[in-house]
Amino acid sequence: MKWLIVNGDDFGMSAGISRGIVEAHRAGILTSTSLMVNRPASEDAAALGRDCPGLSVGLHLELTDPARAAAEVEDQLGRFLALVGTVPTHLDSHHDVHLDPEVLPHVVAQAERTGVPLRGRSGIRRISKFYGRWDDETHPEQISVESLLRLVDAGAGEYVNELICHPGYVEPGVASTYAAERAVEVGTLCDDRVREGLLARGIRLIGFRDLATLPHRTLTAEDATCPRS
């Protein structure tokens, strides 16, 4: 069996991005999201998440100083608990900064204490190239329905996979080089052809909070490797 988590990063970055993530969940295939807790829109995003009981909400860490990584992780986890009222369903970070060798041990330690999966360290196979901007140029064809299904065909392995995405609507004045592409992602994730294509491939959608209900299997680093995605 193949299970697929579809996770939208940057929840709480802005009101429009949060709105797009919720739309992709309610009308599309998005099952999980990762909340930025130190942004002005974080509180409203957390409220949106509470209105979506089927949406798994994890913590999207923003780490700025390797020397203070342990304190930053602790502070942001505390902020998440205050906003959401529960522990995150998973941990990851903005631009994968948690994979920096100076930072990683502190984030791994917090993930182990909290008992939640950490992106790149949990054995969940990542499908990470669903992204519409490369070499400072926009590439909407890379976030089309056809591209998404090709990435799944090439990258999804047995057991659990995570498709990383960035849907949303970027308002004027919001600093993000990934802007118009986010709206394209919303449209793709909500396209009925994607859901039908996953169903035809025998792939079942789940969120991070559903991991505990799956048949037990010990995940390894090899499971997480996705060289073709």
Alpha carbons 199 and 205: distance in angstroms, whole number:
9
Output the pLDDT for position 219.
Answer: 56
Contacts of 13 (CB under 8 A, 6+ apart): 36, 39, 41, 168, 174, 176
The CATH classification of domain 2-58+120-224, taken from the options 3.90.1300.10, 3.90.1150.10, 3.20.20.370, 3.20.10.10: 3.20.20.370
Alpha carbons 117 and 115: distance in angstroms, whole number:
7
The share of the chain scoring above pLDDT 70, in percent, equals: 94
Tokens 């052809």 correspond to 193
User: Which position has the higher pLDDT, 175 or 136?
Assistant: 136
- Number of residues written out for the chain: 229
Output the pLDDT for position 220.
Answer: 56
Output the pLDDT for position 215.
Answer: 85
Contact predicate 182/196, CB 8 Å:
no
Output the pLDDT for position 28.
Answer: 98
| 137-138/133-134 β-pairing | antiparallel
Alpha carbons 127 and 10: distance in angstroms, whole number:
17
Contacts of 90 (CB under 8 A, 6+ apart): 7, 32, 34, 56, 58, 59, 116, 117, 118, 119, 122, 208
Q: Is the pLDDT of residue 39 over 50?
A: yes
Q: What mean pLDDT, rounded, does the chain reach? A: 93
Residue 170 is classified by DSSP as P
Q: Is the pLDDT of residue 185 over 50?
A: yes
Please state whether 180 falls in left (phi above 0), alpha (psi between -120 and 50) or beta. alpha
What CA–CA distances, in Å, run from 74 to 33, 34, 63, 84? 20, 16, 11, 15
Output the pLDDT for position 229.
Answer: 34
Neighbours of 187 (CB within 10 A): 17
Alpha carbons 6 and 25: distance in angstroms, whole number:
9
Alpha carbons 125 and 123: distance in angstroms, whole number:
6
Tokens 């099952």 correspond to 31
3-state secondary structure of 113: helix
| Residues β-bridged to residue 137 | 134
Alpha carbons 94 and 194: distance in angstroms, whole number:
26
Output the pLDDT for position 227.
Answer: 40
pTM: 0.93
Q: 109-160, pLDDT tens digit by residue?
A: 999 999 999 999 998 999 989 999 999 999 999 999 999 999 999 999 999 9
